Every structure is written in C-alpha cells, then in structure tokens.
Chains A and B, each alone.
Chain A
Amino acid sequence: MSIVKTEQLTKVYGKGATAVTALNQLNLNIQPGEFVAVMGPSGCGKSTLLHLVGGLDQPTSGRVLLDGQDMSNLSDDARAELRRRSVGLVFQFFNLIPVLDAVENAALPLVLDGVRQSEAQQKAKDWLTRVGLSDRFSHRPDQLSGGQQQRVALARALVAEPALILADEPTGNLDSRSADEIALLLRQISSEWNRTVLMVTHDPRIAAHASRIVFLKDGTIVDETRLSDGGVSGRNNGQEQLVRAKLEVAS
C-alpha cells in the first residue's frame, strides 16, 4: 500500500479573477521507503504539495491519504497530532526555536506530545548523535552553523519515529558542502532507516540523490523518472546530468 497517495488533489489560492491554481488534480503515489524529489519551476505547486501532504494546509478539492487514512476528514487537533507522530518536517530556513538548545529543539515534538522530559531528551540526544551532532547538545541555534542547524531540524523530524519525512528545500539556504551532507543524510534516512522521504528542491545536484524524481509544472505532474541507486558514497555525475536534462524538458 502507498504511504502517500493523492487523489485529484487540487489547491486554488484566492477567488474569482485573481484565483491561482497551485495544484491541479494531481495524483501521486509514494511507496514506503521511497526517496522522492519534487522538482519544477517557481510557482509550479511543489511546496503546496508538501504542505498538503504534511497537513499544514487543506486542499480545495481531492484528498490526501496518509498510510491509507484520509486527511481531509481530520480535525485541526488531529492533524496536529499527525504532524507530531507520523510526519517529520524540515524547512529551508531550519525554523528552530531560538530560545531552546539543540536537545530541547530536537525533543520538541515529543514534549508537545506529553512524553516525559527525560525520555524525550534521551531520544533527542540519540537522534542528534545519529545525525552527527553529539558534541553540540547544549548549543542554541545562533551558536550553530547552517548545516548544523539543519541537522538539528532533521533530528527533530525523526525524533518521534515518523514513517514520512517531508523536506521543503532543505538545502536551499546552505553552502554546497553542507547541502551535500544534508542530501546524503536524507538518503541515509530513506535507505538505512527505512523512512519515506518527500523532498522539494530546485537543485538537480541534490535531487540526484533521490530514488525517484517527479517534475511538476502548473500544478500537474509532467514527467517522472526513476534513478538507479547512485550509491551512498556520493553524488553521481551521470544521474545529475540526466536530471538536468529532464528538468530542461519539463519546464
């Protein structure tokens, strides 16, 4: 069964003459463990897709099934719970809480879920260690580099052990080295830790790490490509060239 399934998913912003259709009857299936990158020009609806899948926003019509469950019927609180437990979100600007240190930030979904502080912090530390930040536990966001902040955000996304990680331009605000490291981590999340990753990016180099790339234009899927496993070792120039070419065609 698909972990993410969208059916005729449509999102229209505004009304009347100024209405903009961000997603137009989009159908997408993602299987468990897949690492899917969504690409496309600005305004093609890729972030909107991520927001709808993450339950941050409501579709105009159509529906999103998460692990078979229809999200359109969920209350606001139920969707909040879903975001705490079943989805991990990663953003372009990291969006850490500035007043909390790395452990507190990473533990946030668990704390909000009512898990005991000590337990939540232990899990947060575990995940921070896994993403390579064992020496930065008590640093606050302003004491961390961009790449380190994004690792904290990844730990926060993973701490509740969700099946699905949603990443919105996770490397968009990073230098190329940090961006590669984050891309590798995302790939590791999918291949080693068996999470499903849905990532929005405009960078072909980063998209080349995914197992499937979906190209979006004007709110619909215009192309799709499966990539062979490029290996955990690093980026694959050939695949990146392929993605670039596909991207040219798609837009």
Chain B
Amino acid sequence: MRGVDPELADKIDHIALANGRFLQTADTNAILISNNLAQQTGLGVGDSLDLPAASGLVTFAIVGVTTGRPPQSSEELFMPLAAAQALYNLPGQINTIEARFAADSDGETVRQAVLDKLGSGFKLGGATAGSEFASALEAANYIYNMFGIIAIILGGFIIFITFRTIVVERRRDIGMLRAIGASRKTILGMLLTESLVLGVMGTGLGILAGYAMAAGLLIGMRGLIEDLMRTNIGGPSFAPWVFALSIGMGIGITLLAGLAPALAAMRVSPLEALRPSLAEVERRSASRSAIVGVVLIVIAFITLVTGSVSIASFGILLFLTGLVLIGPALVYPIARIFGRLLSLIFAREGQIAQGNLTRQPGRAAITASAITIGLSLLVALGGLLTTLVGGMGGWIDKTLGSDYLFMPQSLILGGGNIGAGPQLLAEIDAIPGVETTTTLRQATTRIDGADVQLVGIDPVTYPQVAGLIFSAGDEETVYEEMENGRLIIVNGIFAAQNRLAVGDTLTLQTPDGTQDYKVAAVAGDFLNFKLATGYISQANLAQDFHETTDLLIMVDQAAGADETAVQASLQALAPDYPAFTFYSLTEWQVEMEKTMSALNGMYVLLIILAIPSLIALINTLAINVLERTREIGTLRAVGATRRQVKRMITAESLLLAATGTLFGLLSGLWLSYILVGAMNLIGLVFPFSFSYAGAIVAIVVGLGFGILGALIPARQATKLDIVQALAYE
C-alpha cells in the first residue's frame, strides 16, 4: 500500500498505467491497482474496493490500473497520501521519502549529505529484507547442522562396518598376498586406495543425487512459490564451498572409516590366514577404552555448562564417541539382562545367541552403536518436538490466555499490518459481560543497524489478561515500573543476540532520533518467540514511535457472563474489520494444535534417517554368519533344525537391537537435552520435557529393526550346506 503525493509521485518514479488515469490532487478515496490484481479479481476502472482500515472498512474507487512493476513480489496499491495515513491511523506520518538527484551531481556526496542532515535514525537506499528473520533462520540452521553432523557420523559408521566385512571376507586372500611377498605397506595401500575409490564414487553419486533432489524439490515448490510470492525460482544453486565441503567430507569420512579395518588387514599374518580360522574369543580388555569413554562423557557434560552453543555441539560428538567406547564394557551386563528375557522366548537358542554377543563385545558394541546413533536421532527430535509443543502450549496458555482473541490472520513481521483504531476496542469494551481487554501494538526500531520488532503492551491490563513468560527480572514489579519511564523487556532471542542483561541500556532508533531504554527483564510471548522482540509500554510506543493502532486484542469475559451472548456480540464486530479474525481461546488452541501436529510428520523423516542403521545391523549379522559358518554347520550336524538356526540369528539380532535401543534412548535423551539447551542459549527458552512418543517410537523401531535385520542373515544361515559348512575355513 503506497500513499503518494499525486503531484510529485509520477515525476520521481514513473508509474505506467494499463488503463484509467493517475491519482489527482482532488482525489480522496481513489486507488490504483495493478493489472495482476485486476485480472485475478475481475475488478477494473470504475469499480470500488473495500479495504480494512484502523477505523473499520473504507471504500475506495478504482481510477486506474497499473502495468505492475517487477520485481516486487506483493501487489502494489497506490492511493493519496492522506488516505493511506488515515488507513494506518498515522496522521501526518511518512516513512519513506523518494528523491531524484540532479543529473550532474555525485551520488555518493549527495547521499552522505542527506544522511548527515537526517541523523542516524534513517537509512538510505533500497529497503532491506527484514533482518528479524535472521535469528529464526539461524536457529533452524543450527538444528540442520546438528543433524548433518550426526548423519555424517552414521555414514562413517556404516562405511567402517562395511570395510570390516570386506577385510573379514578377504582374510585368506590377504594372507595369500602376504605369503607371496606383499608387504604390510602394500596391503594398507591397497585397502586405502580402495576406500579412496569408493569415497570418490560415493561422493560423486551423493552430489548428483543431492542436486537432483534439490532440483526436484524446487520443481515441486515452483507452483506454490509462484502463487504465494509471484516469483520465478530457477534451478538449485550451490555455493562452491558447499561442493568443496561435501567432497572433503565424503572422501575424508570414507578414508577415515576405512583406516581401522585397513590397519587390521595390515596385521594379518600370512600364516594366520592360511590356517583354518578357528573362532577366537575376543580377549582384549574393554576396561581401558571404557575409562576413556567415561571421561569423554563427563567432558561432554561439562560442555553443556559452558553456555556456548558450538562447544555444546562438540559435546555431542564427544558423547557419542564416549558411548561407543564404553559400549563393549556394557555389552556383557546388558546382554545378560536381555538374554534372560530372551531365553523366555528362545529357550533353546537364546543361550548361544547371548554367548555370541558377549564373546565379541567390541563388534557387538559397534553394531549396537549404529542402531544407537540412528535411534538417538529419533529420540532427540522427539524430545525436541515434545519440548517445543509442550513449551508452546504453555506459552499459548500464559501469553495468549484470554477468553477471546482478535488477531490478524497472519501477522506480517516487521510492520505492514493494518491495525485497528481506538473505535474497535471501545466497541468491545462496551459489550456487556466483557470484563477486561488488552491489546498488543507493533512498531519496528533499529539497534546497531539491525531491525528489531517492538511490541507495545498496556502495563496495567496486559498482566491481568495474559502475561509474558519471564526468564530474568521481577515479574511482580516490572509492569508497574514500565508505567513510569522508558523501560524495555527483551525476549530471549533478542537478549541472546545482543548479550543483554537486566539493567543494560539500549539505544533505540525512533522516527525522531534515538531514545535510551533500560532493560527491565528478559521475557517473551508465544507470537514473537522466534523474533528478536522488545516490549515497551503503549504510552512510550505512541510517544516515541507514533504507533497507536491495535494489532491484537485479547478479551476476558466477566465471571458469570453469558458466554454465548458475549461471543455473538464479539463475532458481530468482526466483519467490519476484515484484517482481524475472531477466535475463542479453544478455537485458537485447536488451530495451533493443527499447526503443531504437522510437526509429527518429522518422525517419518526420522524413521527414514534410521534406515542406514538397519543396513549396518544386517551387515554385521551377515559377517557374523559368515564367520561362524563352521559353527552353524556344527549346530546343524548335532541336530539343530533350520528353524532353530534362524531363531538363533534372530535372537542375536534382537539382543543387538535391544542393546542399541537402550543406548539410543540414553544418548537421544542427552541429545535432545543438549538441543533444548542450545535453543535456550539462543533465546528460545522452553522447559525440557521427556518425549514418551519418541521413546516408544524408538523402541518399536529398534526392536522392529532387530527382527527385520535378522531376516537376510538368518536365511543365509539356514541355506548353508552342512557338509560344506563343516569344511569351511
């Protein structure tokens, strides 16, 4: 909506007309619409258009249709300046001055001269997109990065396990090579080259698949984005560093994961590989690595106390590593406990299955770890979701806790909403049965060059009807103090970004220069929790920012009032203010729950993310079967049926899965605690709440994977030819 001076506007920036005429000085409620809007609505010159205004609906006459101007994504409407000022209830206010420099002047000099004259409260040049979004994006980015790190760890694990398979399968070949004179270095080089080749291939395919997926997503979103934003989006574009990073990571992780198996292969002695492989019981003591693991976990815990998000993220890495290290020491007791349970179901086979795991706790721990990492993602995100949903529910109850709400269908962040003038509130207050009302107002200010949203509250009525959620400052006294003097309450994100504490002084840009505000508390409300927001009194907002329209009205009815009558009277006001939607609290909560239940779709995504763990489990069990070919042959020879062998493998897989699930629950809990802690650090303050749903999904998925993972290896084991298996070396 652009209010312009009909005399001057066209001279500064010519507005091309498709038909009709331009605005004239004598026009009052005349308007120009774009041909785009004209096409969509069927409106044209001579028609009228009702627009929401601070004082209710205002009717405009369409006098012309513009050709529309790229690259603006939203419709531009032109009307006389006075009409726009009335619409927004901003009499005498302007927020943009357009100027045309003389042809022979130096742009930069003039620019500087203008800025010097205006002072720091103004900016020169094109409007910049709201930096308020930056913090919300930052939080999202942080969480994406976190999942990226975990995905890479998981990938590394699977590669590691796969390379172990390769080395185990080729033990004899490697022994032969050593026997005919290959040096240890040659063996190491051979396997590392192999992992390099695989890494290059995998990275190449990964980049292609990633590009294709991004392109597919963009094609899928194209229609939506064109509809919503009137913008054409092209194909995906990646910064060169993204390619560099993925190539580095892809090849680096593959090489790293291949290193340990390659070193193990290097140690294969020619003799060892030539004699029949008699299964050895893993003898290496697990205690030393367990101690290192405990130390790492303790350090990981300390990182959380440091208060730095990046250090806490590093802590997750330490925690997972620690878990892998203490894994072998924990496998034995855990296998004993679960083994006892399992022997109830698998009376005849459980014992052998349990023995197979405790015999090689290192390998069992690694497989279990693969499941652990996949499941910890599930539990962590589950925890995050429950915390968010639960926390938001709490926030809604407290900060929007009125019986009825008038609010815009969508709040346009950073300004641009049509608020309501004093008439609406007066009409609401006049309804019998309405006890208290309070309103929120909005303005934008700048601090150190960044846009910050200001919300105006009424210090008297706001705490009666609703209230902010405090993390610092005194809730009892702060509202009263706000009535006298320039006090500001900042929300968590705002405080975290600017490292603010109670008692600091903030210098805010106002249309009339700067004003100092004292930080009285750190607190926030639901609507603005993801935006850097400051709360000041409505009196100060009017005085310093000239903003007096109400953007959101909360209504409490009197005890004993006729609910239906109150609701009907309120609803009757709504049509006059089309910018507002009327909700009762329950309607609004239902609306919010719908929005938040969409988050549950994330679980599906997570289950997909957990699939690599399934592959790792199948892989390990398959090696296990391969290594134990002779044993399985023996079992069959002494009278085990195919079904019994299958049940043994399944029991083993279930044991592994149960162990991995237990670890996964623990580390997922930790992870979600860290994620919630990290959110707190960036100012999204929610109390941590345990995700029962996430835990249950994780247990079901974990044990389900146990059964699924056993299918292929069990089949492989039952198909063994007994005579050949007995002779297998």
Whether A138 sits at the interface, judged by CB under 8 Å, is no
Please classify the interface of chain B as helix (H, G, I), strand (E, B), loop, or mixed, using the class held by over half of its residues.
Answer: helix
Verify if A76 is at the interface (C-beta below 8 Å from B): yes
List which A101-140 residues lie within 8 A (CB) of chain B.
104, 108-109, 111-114, 140
Interface bracket on A: 20 to 34
B-side interface size class: 20 to 34
In contact, B358 and A80 (Cβ under 8 angstroms): no
CB <8 Å contact, A97 and B634? yes
Whether a CB of chain B sits under 8 angstroms from the CB of A212 is: no
From B351, B356, B638, B639, A104 is in contact (CB under 8 Å) with B351
Residues on the A chain within 8 Å of B638, using CB: 83-84, 89, 108-109, 112, 156
Q: How far is the CA of A247 from the CA of B405 in the complex (A)?
A: 105
Decide if B722 touches A112 in the complex (CB within 8 Å): no
Question: Given A93-B278, A99-B359: A109 and B634 within 8 A (CB)?
Answer: no
Note all chain A residues with C-beta closer than 8 A to B281.
98-99, 140, 142
Asked if B634 contacts A99 (CB within 8 A), the reply is no
The CA-CA distance from A78 to B723 in the complex, in Å, is 17
The chain A residue with its CB closest to the CB of B641 is A80
B276 at the interface (CB under 8 A from A): yes
Are A57 and B351 also in contact (CB < 8 A) when A80-B641, A83-B639 are?
A: no
Contact of B723 among A56, A99, A160 (CB under 8 A): A56
Q: Is B280 positioned at the interface, with any CB of A under 8 Å from its CB?
A: yes
Residue in B closest to A157 when the chains form the complex, CB atoms: B638
**B639 and A80 within 8 A (CB):** yes
**Of A80, A91, A114, which contacts B636 at CB under 8 A?**
A80
Task: Name the A residues within 8 Å of B641 (CB-CB).
Answer: 76-77, 80-81, 112
Note all chain B residues with C-beta closer than 8 A to A142. Answer: 280-281
Q: Are A91 and B722 touching (Cβ within 8 A)?
A: no
**Residues 45-86 of A contacting B (Cβ, < 8 Å):** 51, 54, 56-57, 76-77, 80-85
A243 to B279 CA separation, bound complex (whole angstroms): 36
Shortest CB-to-CB span from A158 to chain B, Å, is 12
Task: Tell me which residues across on chain A come within 8 A of B204, comparing CB atoms.
Answer: none
In the bound complex, residues from chain A placing their C-beta under 8 Å from that of B359 are 98-99
A95 beta carbon closer than 8 Å to chain B: yes
User: How far apart are the CA atoms of A98 and B352 in the complex, in Å?
Assistant: 10
Complex Cα gap A37–B359 (Å): 37
Q: Which residues of chain A are near B726, meaning CB under 8 Å? A: 56, 91, 95
**Shortest beta-carbon distance, A195 to chain B, in Å?**
16
B contacts, CB < 8 Å to A: 276, 278-281, 347-348, 351-352, 355-356, 358-359, 630-631, 633-644, 722-723, 726
Pairs of residues from A and B, 7 with the lowest C-beta to C-beta distance, nearest first: A84-B639, A99-B355, A95-B634, A83-B639, A80-B641, A99-B359, A56-B722
Other A-B pairs, 9, CB within 8 Å; known A91-B634, A93-B630, A114-B347: A56-B722, A83-B636, A83-B638, A95-B726, A109-B638, A111-B351, A112-B640, A112-B644, A156-B638
> What are 10 A-B contacts with C-beta separation under 8 Å?
A56-B726, A80-B640, A80-B642, A80-B644, A89-B638, A97-B634, A99-B355, A99-B356, A100-B355, A111-B351
